[in-house]
Amino acid sequence: MKLGYFPGCSLHSTAKEFDLSLKAVAGPLDVELEEIHDWSCCGSSSAHATDHLLSIALAARNLSLAEQQGLSQVMAPCAACFSRLATARHEMAHDEEQAELVRPMLARPFKNAVEVQNVVALLQGLAGRIKAKATPLTGLKVACYYGCLLVRPPEVAQFDDPEDPTSMEQVVAATGATAVRWSRRLDCCGAGFSLSRVGSVVRLGRAILEDAKASGAQAVVVACPMCHSNLDLRQSAMEARRASLGLPILFLTQLVGLALKLDPASLGLERHFVSAVGVMRALAAPAPQQLPATRG
Amino acid sequence: MSRIGVLVCHCGENIGRTVDCASVARALGDLPGVAHAADYKYMCSDPGQLLVKQAIAEKKLDGVVVAACSPRMHEKTFRRACASAGMNAFLCEMANIREHCSWIHESRGDATEKAIALARAIVEKVKRNQPLSPIRIPIERRALVIGGGIAGIQAALDIAEGGREVVLVEKEPSIGGHMSQLSETFPTLDCSQCILTPRMVEAYQHPGIKLLAYSEVESVSGYIGNFEVKVRRKARSVDETRCNGCGECQAACPNKKIPSEFEQGLGKRSAIYVPFPQAVPNIPVIDRAHCALFRGRAKGLKKDACSKCKEACGRQAVDFDQQDTFTTVKVGAVVVATGYQLYSVGKQQPSDKLKGYGEYGYGTIPDVIDGLQFERLASASGPTGGKILRPSDGKEPKKIVFLQCIGSRDPAKGIEYCSKVCCMYVAKHTMLYRHKVHDGKAYVFYMDVRAAGKGYEEFARRAVEEEGAIYLRGRVSKLERTGNAIKVHGFDTLSGRPMVIDADMVVLATAMRPQPGIEALAQKLSVSCDGHGFINEAHPKLRPVETNTAGVFVAGACQAPRDIPDSVAMASGAASKVLGLFSNEELERDPTVAVVDETGCAGCFHCERVCPYGAVERKEIKDRKGVLLKVVATVNKGVCQGCGTCQATCPSKNVELQGFTDEQIFAAISAL
Ligand SMILES: Cc1cc2nc3c(=O)[nH]c(=O)nc-3n(C[C@H](O)[C@H](O)[C@H](O)COP(=O)(O)OP(=O)(O)OC[C@H]3O[C@@H](n4cnc5c(N)ncnc54)[C@H](O)[C@@H]3O)c2cc1C
Ligand code: SF4
Ligand code: SF4
């Protein structure tokens, strides 16, 4: 299977391990990823907050590049990128006035024919293959955390049940691990306020992780670089003057990689602030050499 | 030579603005066969009608064309005027120069020309009109009421009190509907059972009402005044004529753990059961799906697994071999009063259009209940004897959060409309709760409080001002189960703050939807439903209790969400319509029906196949000695709706619609 690949800025920087683990599992799962040449910003951080037209045009540019490259599907692992690309596709299809403004800005023909996919949908579709190739992660209990952008707004994301999704749990089941039942799977992690309102992010993240922990999870599985950094980077602040959480935050691709017995280092498992050693030990897998916590 | 009169109406400005009515009158006046032509500002007014009558008398007219609005609007008016001037009403016709002309054109010249052409066409048609007389059909002066909730009971009682027989069909073992489940009713807080039970008994004992409980309408044929309805009487497994309602069978039944429908699953019943103590008729029914004997039989057991109820019954009333039976009733009118059901927040929904509430756990959290369940908890005859106790652990909840507009007013869940009664019953629930749990705290999340009704606003205010209910304007985003409590995450839009309340119980005011199976029933009755399945009334303002099928009326919550006063008012309205219809022995109908020329009919019966109303019948023609000569088609005047499909189909042109013959239509078209 060949897929267009839109890494976005996170996967080249803060979420390098998402990129590493995705590429690592792609091979064994027979997925060929073709990066979009000359891709640019998806419009997620500043553009969509300041200039709506620009935010659509930026995302549409990337879709038009994919079209030019002959791709029929583009996969954006970052939930924010996925959301921006899907929004552009949706608006270009449903808002003719807007589309008229955007088209001349693209400087190339655009049929809006490229489908936008996220990594969870991809892995959900491959669950059978994962299960067949996996050494089951028996005994490992994880909490699937969706955050906000993967399934919402439903008319844009067009993916899973926006109030009670189950796709991540299906992937987890294919790896042989157990997904716990908990309530805060869709809560806000504070997203873009990571730097500007640390207090809020810590408070929100703590509520999420305390619930995951109380539900018996040994790790939290995510599919969004923003969620990841908020829950991982800020975890020590959440623990200040409280019970320790000690919950490693794994990307879904990393969990799949572990089930496929890939080298933990190739999955970037050592790149987290909260060490995944406990998880590795629970699985009796060799722990990766702990590197100093510096991020790309 | 004909002597036709043409009267052109300005309809105030409606026609006069774009059509030069005086020129139209002049042009028509010049046509051969037109003896009189005039225009007037409001032809439908009294002086206008007088002009028509005067013209008929003075000019000795033998036909009238009124060029004005749509015949749907005023054909009756002008035909009546003509008849009062001594002319056959069917020699008067209208040319529509408003909807078909002045309203849709801008150019005065073109519109005037078109108006002339339209009127000219009708003049040519009227020249060929024949005097017709209305058809008279005898009326079966007995009514069928479908559904025995408060609306159906009220309609049945009113019709029976008016001296006409009623057949009341109820699908459940007892009549009473939802009102029998309610505790106390807004806005007066009188006990629901106390005001309902006497009416149920009255309906049961009324000599003019025949109650067919545990029955359903199987099929309907016929037309206003002459419906034939087949009713399926479902097998109760208990002989109604023998049972005296002693209840010994229920006590004997070993199978007592079945969730009771009447208690909304909060209580239990046996396999042979009476839904509630005040049931009417007070005769049990065996729920065959849960009965040990019938389950055994279904599995092919030779020996009956149980027959405790039969052994316990002193009157040999239990009859395991009873089968469904059918009775046919002839009625002249039907009142549909099938009521409502509550929307369920669960994941499984009856249609793709509806969505459940994943954010509330799709209804899987115990202690998150709906309004009817709360009614049962608050009811003195309910599963807790009127104590408010949570279903999960039987403890008294100290904090209850009520959520309004669940499903209703939420297009994302598939229901745009307001369910109308929930604002009021939530206010009632907070009061009932406070009356029973004095230190209890009631919170209400609402969008608006809609309390429009006599004494309603005062009632809703009382909940806040005297009973201490805390109203928070906003929606709840999530219900979260934490230990013994339910965390309610909401937003108070008035203070602009997110709120989290640890509740002991949550009550959802879920939307009212039509009963399941309503669409199938509507189809049997040829009435239409709206997009949600509520029965459509004939006109939302002027004909609220009639449907588009003559002789079929509607009452209560099957037409739209309704509270008890509304349902009862509608029921009385429908009953008075029925009694009005029944005040005549015969029914007059427009003679616009198809007539077969029996001499020419070749008996091919193409018409029989195409008629959408099944109005075409076969008739044998015999000579004097009784020898069959041929079989021809004949049209039942009572059933024919005058659609003309047969006329278009007949290969030998031997069936024609009276008033719309080929000759008339072709003459009109040629004159355009
Ligand atoms: C929680 C709650 C509290 C309420 N509290 C109040 C209150 O305090 N005051 C107030 O004024 N209103 C109240 N209401 C509204 C009240 O319940 C309705 O107004 C009333 O019940 C409507 O009566 P109905 O006869 O139209 O329908 P229903 O009560 O639903 O009765 C319909 C009957 O028709 C039968 N039926 C259905 N389909 C068929 C069929 N195909 N063939 C034969 N029979 C059929 C049903 O079995 C039922 O017996 C409340 C509603 C709810 C949900
Ligand atoms: S046969 Fe037995 S199980 Fe069935 S209703 Fe009678 S007593 Fe109950
Ligand atoms: S009556 Fe009140 S609670 Fe019910 S849907 Fe209408 S506004 Fe909402």
CA dist., res. A16 & res. B155, Å (int): 73
Tell me: the pLDDT tens digits for B611-643?
A: 988 889 999 999 999 999 999 999 998 888 899
**B445 CA from centroid of ligand 1 (Å):** 25
pLDDT number for residue A46: 84
pLDDT number for residue A295: 42
Q: Is B449 in the pocket of ligand 1 (CB under 6 A)?
A: no
* Identity of the highest mean pLDDT range in B149-153, B218-222, B411-415: B149-153
pLDDT number for residue B638: 80
pLDDT number for residue A286: 57
Tell me: the pLDDT tens digits for A125-180?
A: 999 999 999 999 999 999 999 998 999 999 999 999 999 999 999 999 999 999 99
Architecture in CATH of B142-234+327-339+515-582: 3-Layer(bba) Sandwich (3.50)
Q: Map residue B633 onto helix, strand or coil.
A: strand
CA dihedral A60, A61, A66, A70 (to 10 degrees): 100
Q: Where are the domains of chain A?
A: 2-117, 135-284
Q: Matching CATH topology for B142-234+327-339+515-582 and B341-513?
A: yes
**B402 CA from centroid of ligand 3 (Å):** 12
pLDDT number for residue B444: 98
pLDDT number for residue A292: 47
Q: Prior bond to A153 cis, omega within 30? A: yes
Count the neighbouring beta carbons within 10 Å of the beta carbon of residue B371.
24
**DSSP letter, residue B389:** -
Q: Is the pLDDT of residue B395 over 50?
A: yes
CATH of B341-513, one of 3.40.1010.20, 3.40.50.9100, 2.60.120.380, 3.50.50.60: 3.50.50.60
Nearest CB to B359 within list A154, A163, A184: A163
> In terms of Cα–Cα distance, which of A51, A31, A34 is closest to A43?
A51
Task: Nearest chain A residue to B359 by CA: give it.
Answer: A163
CB pairs A-B closer than 8 Å: 17
pLDDT number for residue A294: 44
What separation in angstroms does the CA of B355 have from each of B272, B348, B420, B511? 35, 8, 20, 12
Architecture in CATH of B590-670: 2-Layer Sandwich (3.30)
Suggest the residue from A156, A167, A183 to mutate for an interface test with chain B (most B CBs closer than 10 A).
Answer: A183
Q: Map residue B619 onto helix, strand or coil.
A: strand
**B482 CA from centroid of ligand 3 (Å):** 28
Mean pLDDT of chain B: 96
What separation in angstroms does the CA of B279 have from each of B177, B241, B286? 10, 16, 15
**Is residue B135 within 8 Å of B589, Cβ to Cβ?**
yes
Q: Is B308 in the pocket of ligand 2 (CB under 6 A)?
A: yes
> Whole-model pTM?
0.84
**Is residue B310 within 8 Å of B250, Cβ to Cβ?**
no
Smallest Cα distance from B500 to chain A, Å: 13
Task: Name the closest-CA residue to atom 3, ligand 1.
Answer: B425
How many Å separate Cα A265 from the centre of its chain? 19
CA dist., res. B48 & res. B52, Å (int): 7
- A163 and B481 within 8 Å at the Cβ level: the answer is no
Q: Which residues of B touch A163 (CB under 8 A)?
A: 357-359
Tell me: the pLDDT tens digits for B94-151?
A: 999 999 999 999 999 999 999 999 999 999 999 999 999 998 989 999 999 999 999 9
Query: Does B17 lie at the interface with A, CB-CB under 8 angstroms?
Result: no
- A183 and B481 within 8 Å at the Cβ level: the answer is yes
| ipTM attached to this prediction | 0.81
Query: Does B478 lie at the interface with A, CB-CB under 8 angstroms?
Result: yes
Tell me: the pLDDT tens digits for A142-156?
A: 999 999 899 999 999
pLDDT number for residue B408: 97
Suggest the residue from B345, B349, B359, B365 to mutate for an interface test with chain A (most A CBs closer than 10 A).
Answer: B359
Instruction: Give pLDDT tens digits along chain A (296 positions).
Output: 789 999 999 999 999 999 999 999 999 999 999 999 999 999 987 888 899 999 999 999 999 999 999 999 999 999 999 999 999 999 999 999 999 999 999 989 999 999 999 999 999 999 999 999 999 999 999 999 999 899 999 999 999 999 999 999 999 999 999 999 998 999 999 887 888 999 999 999 999 999 999 999 999 999 999 999 999 999 999 998 888 999 999 999 999 999 999 999 999 999 999 998 878 777 766 555 554 444 43
Q: Is the pLDDT of residue B33 over 70?
A: yes
Query: Does B53 lie at the interface with A, CB-CB under 8 angstroms?
Result: no
**Is residue B264 within 8 Å of B372, Cβ to Cβ?**
yes
Q: Where are the domains of chain B?
A: 4-127, 142-234+327-339+515-582, 248-323, 341-513, 590-670
**Is residue B430 within 8 Å of B444, Cβ to Cβ?**
yes
Burial class of residue B659 (count of CB atoms within 10 Å of its CB; 0-12, 13-18, 19+): middle
Tell me: the pLDDT tens digits for B487-526?
A: 999 999 999 999 999 999 999 999 999 999 999 999 999 9
Tell me: the pLDDT tens digits for A242-265?
A: 889 999 999 999 999 999 999 999
pLDDT number for residue A193: 86
Suggest the residue from A164, A188, A200 to mutate for an interface test with chain B (most B CBs closer than 10 A).
Answer: A164
pLDDT number for residue A293: 47
What separation in angstroms does the CA of A82 have from each of A14, A86, A102, A127, B222? 17, 6, 19, 20, 60
Nearest CB to B357 within list A154, A163, A184: A163
Structure tokens at B259: 């969730």
- A183 and B480 within 8 Å at the Cβ level: the answer is yes
- B482 and A184 within 8 Å at the Cβ level: the answer is no
Mean pLDDT, to the nearest integer, of B48-63? 96
**DSSP letter, residue B238:** B
What kind of fold does domain A135-284 have according to CATH? Rossmann fold (3.40.50)
The highest-level CATH class for domain A2-117 is mainly alpha
CATH of domain B4-127: 3.40.50.960
Residue B211's φ and ψ, nearest 5 degrees, are -90, 125
Residue partners of B629: CB distance under 8 A and separation at least 6:
B621, B622, B623
